[in-house]
Amino acid sequence: MNESSAGRSGFPRAYLDRVGSSFTDFLATTAPDLLPGRRPVPTLPVGDIAPHGTTIVAVTYEGGVLMGGDRRATMGNLISSRDIEKVYPADSYSVIGIAGAAGIAIEMVRLYQVELEHYEKIEGLTMSLDGKANRLAAMIRGNLGAALQGLAVVPLFAGFDLDAAPGTAPGRIFSYDVTGGNYEERGYAAVGSGSLFAKNSLKKTWRSDLPADAATRTVVEALYDAADDDSATGGPDPVRRLYPIVYRVDTEGAVRLTEAEVAAVADTIVTERAEADRQNMPREATQQGGRP
Amino acid sequence: MTMPYYASPEQLMRDRSEYARKGISRGRSVAVLTYSDGVLFIAENPSSTLHKVGELYDRIGFAAVGRYSEFESLRVAGVRLADVRGYSYNRRDVTGRVIANAYAQTLGEIFTQQTKPFEVELCVAEVGERPENDQLYRLTFDGSIVDEPDFVVMGGQADAVTGHLRENFHSGMGLSDALEVGVRALSAVSPVTSGATNGGPTRLTAAQLEVAVLDRRRPKRAFRRVVGVALRTLLGDESPAPDAREAEPHAEGHHAPSVPEPGTPPGLGDPANPDTAGGAEPEPQD
């Protein structure tokens, strides 16, 4: 923003002109350099030098929707962050999780949060859930050029639909592709490098009528399974007390589960897996060196 | 064929001031008061959708009187300035002073350079961490800006309302006391209650009022509209039946501080606050 554009000589014309409710559209006319999609696209692939976020999982349950993400970001073969946060509240009733180039993705989340709040303040109303999903699609579409150079951003969006017809599930999940394609998912969805394994896990554990705590377990378990097989997904880390981030969105709004809640779920899963593993592998075998 | 004429600058400014003052004095009044937990906006406004009070940013609110189309465009400009600044710097870098200055400059420019001045009067209010950090800026149609302590009254019969408030207001009042004092002051001059001596209503009711607060105890977006049951209960309109007794703690709980999001990175806001919405807050059902 130009410092002289506000303060010394009042509002520039554009501020008082047409009443539009979109913050992104407004920036496009007044400060396009602030928009992630308006910068020169790198001419060479740069994916390996930019940190990438990995697995995000979302599931619906009887009272709304849950979204969880692991804590790892990778840069090529390196772990660039063990405690990155990749799930954020978008507004009071929706959450967004991001996989892909972390720098661009976090900038996009910030812009998206302001976009929703800006609309709310100007219109005096909250945007519909489908409207929110579409605004996000437009943002992803603007990033296609960078995506082709290895800086793709693929979000997962979920929210509680305040306008849901009675009898229909209020929790809804939307997934995206790099071209800005917007797809509503049924029941559960995952994005990022570990999404294949996470979805396989959810396929077995998720049911549509789960209560919140059981659904939370399916989310954490799916992330555990993803971390088991995907090197770019981080598992629960009891040494550093780092556990997945899980948000729940229900009639009360978006709430982040406390670290203690998620840790309890993760510890239960780890204990159960260890127990199952001991039963499958007799003690004698492991003491004598295990399998060849 | 128009006659060439000369009017002295003094005359021009006087005419414009008079024009703007007339326009403003036709409207109903708005009072902005500080109270122990923040800032309270009370507007006499029978419309529930054409607001005179609005949210500009996390800790900053806006109130206006005069011509709706004019102050609405100023409100939108304020929201835009706040959001652009907060997005390109940080949320903490948006202050009431910056926005009030921009309003002052804009109003001053319009007043001196355009034939018709804006017929508006604005108040930009900001809540701080403590009561002594609360700021109320009052802006008039000619771009003058005044930093007022305690309270600001604008609109039709601002002087009479101010006089009334001087007698009854003291700083550090609770929300319901401040609301009581403010509503009484507005009621004293309102045309709605002018028939009070002949048995008409003596006080404005919830349906005729637009009330909002900037509550410093709320973690992020401090602005909250007080509507429906919460407002009627605060005003004491609701009969003290058992359900209304329940509504009181409910209304209180409604703006009790919710738990801030732990570990949200500094650059990212945390709007995960169920009852945050500026105008879209669902009325509490009972």
Query: What string of H, E and C letters represents the secondary structure of chain B?
Result: CCCCCCCCHHHHHHHHHHHHHHHHHHCCCEEEEEECCEEEEEEECCCCCCCCEEEEECCEEEEEEECHHHHHHHHHHHHHHHHHHHHHCCHHHCCHHHHHHHHHHHHHHHHHHCCCCCCEEEEEEECCCCHHHCEEEEECCCCCEEEECCEEEECCCHHHHHHHHHHHCCCCCCHHHHHHHHHHHHHHHCHHHCCHHHCCCCCCCHHHEEEEEEECCCCCCCEEEECHHHHHHHHCCCCCCHHHHHHHHHHHHHCCCCCCCCCCCCCCCCCCCCCCCCCCCCCCCC
Contacts of B212 in chain A (CB under 8 A): none
- Closest-CA residue of B relative to A245 is B263
Contacts of B114 in chain A (CB under 8 A): none
Whether residue A185 has pLDDT greater than 60: yes
Q: Cα separation of B159 and B149, whole Å?
A: 16
Q: For chain B, which residues make up each domain, given as ranges?
A: 9-227
- Closest-CA residue of A relative to B74 is A16
- Selecting among A30, A43, A54, A216, the annotated active-site residue is A54
Tens digit of each residue's pLDDT (9 = 90 or more) over A76-108: 889 999 999 999 999 999 999 999 999 999 999
Cβ within 8 Å of A, B 107-146: 107-109
Question: What does the pLDDT average to over A203-227?
Answer: 95
Which residues are within 8 A (CB) of A186 and not within 5 positions of it... i.e. 6 or more apart?
none
CB pairs under 8 A between A and B: 136
> Residue B9 phi/psi, 5° resolution?
-55, -40
pLDDT of residue B281: 39
In angstroms, the separation between the Cα of residue B137 and the nearest Cα of chain A is 15
| A43 catalytic residue (yes or no) | no
Which domains are seen in chain A, by residue range?
Answer: 46-287 (3.60.20.10)
Tens digit of each residue's pLDDT (9 = 90 or more) over A115-143: 999 999 999 889 999 999 999 999 999 88
Sign of CA dihedral B157, B163, B168, B173: positive
Whether residue A288 has pLDDT greater than 80: no
pLDDT of residue B259: 37
Of A31-45, A259-273, B264-278, which range is least confident? B264-278
For an interface test with A, give the residue of B76, B94, B107, B210 to mutate (most A CBs within 10 A).
B76
- Whether chain A has a CB inside 8 Å of the CB on B228: the answer is no
pLDDT of residue B272: 39
pLDDT of residue B248: 37
- Whether chain B has a CB inside 8 Å of the CB on A113: the answer is yes
Q: Cα separation of B214 and B58, whole Å?
A: 9
Q: Could A7 and B267 be called an inter-chain contact, meaning their C-beta atoms sit closer than 8 Å?
A: no
End-to-end CA distance of chain B: 68
Report the share of chain A in percent with pLDDT over 70: 92
C-alpha distances in angstroms, B264 versus A67, A155, A256? 16, 18, 10
Contacts of B268 in chain A (CB under 8 A): 88, 106, 109-110, 113
> Residue B38 phi/psi, 5° resolution?
155, -140
pLDDT of residue B2: 66
In angstroms, the separation between the Cα of residue A66 and the nearest Cα of chain B is 14
Of A6-10, A193-197, B251-255, the range with the highest mean pLDDT is A193-197
Whether residue A197 has pLDDT greater than 60: yes
Query: For residue B224, how many C-alpha atoms fall within 13 Å in the half-sphere facing its CB?
Result: 30
The shortest CB-CB distance from A27 to any of B74, B84, B221 is to: B84
Q: Cα separation of B119 and A138, whole Å?
A: 39
- Whether chain B has a CB inside 8 Å of the CB on A258: the answer is yes
Higher pLDDT, B279 or A174: A174
Q: Mean pLDDT over all residues of chain A?
A: 89
Cβ within 8 Å of B, A 33-92: 34, 85, 88-92
pLDDT of residue A227: 96
pLDDT of residue A142: 86
Of A38-47, A270-279, B122-131, which range is least confident? A38-47
In angstroms, the separation between the Cα of residue A114 and the nearest Cα of chain B is 7
The shortest CB-CB distance from A1 to any of B84, B271, B278 is to: B84
For an interface test with A, give the residue of B80, B93, B258, B283 to mutate (most A CBs within 10 A).
B80
pLDDT of residue B114: 87
Per-residue pLDDT of chain B (286 residues; tens, 9 = 90+): 566 678 888 888 899 999 999 989 888 899 999 999 999 999 999 888 899 999 999 999 999 999 999 999 999 999 999 999 999 999 999 999 999 999 999 999 999 888 899 999 999 999 999 999 999 999 999 999 999 999 999 988 889 999 999 999 998 899 999 999 999 999 988 877 776 666 667 888 899 999 999 999 998 899 999 998 999 999 887 644 444 333 333 333 333 333 334 443 333 333 333 333 333 334 444 4
CB-CB contact of A140 with A178 (8 Å): yes
Beta bridge partners of A156: A97, A175
Q: Could A256 and B86 be called an inter-chain contact, meaning their C-beta atoms sit closer than 8 Å?
A: no
pLDDT of residue A45: 83
Q: Cα separation of A65 and A187, whole Å?
A: 9
> Residue B92 phi/psi, 5° resolution?
-70, -15
Whether residue A279 has pLDDT greater than 60: yes
Interface ipTM above 0.90: no
**Architecture of the domain whose range is B9-227:** 4-Layer Sandwich (3.60)
In angstroms, the separation between the Cα of residue B72 and the nearest Cα of chain A is 9
What 3-state DSSP class applies to A234?
Answer: coil
Higher pLDDT, A42 or B21: B21
Single pTM value for the model = 0.85
Q: Is B136 left (phi over 0), alpha (psi -120 to 50) or beta?
A: beta
At residue A231, what is the residue type? S
Whether residue A276 has pLDDT greater than 70: yes
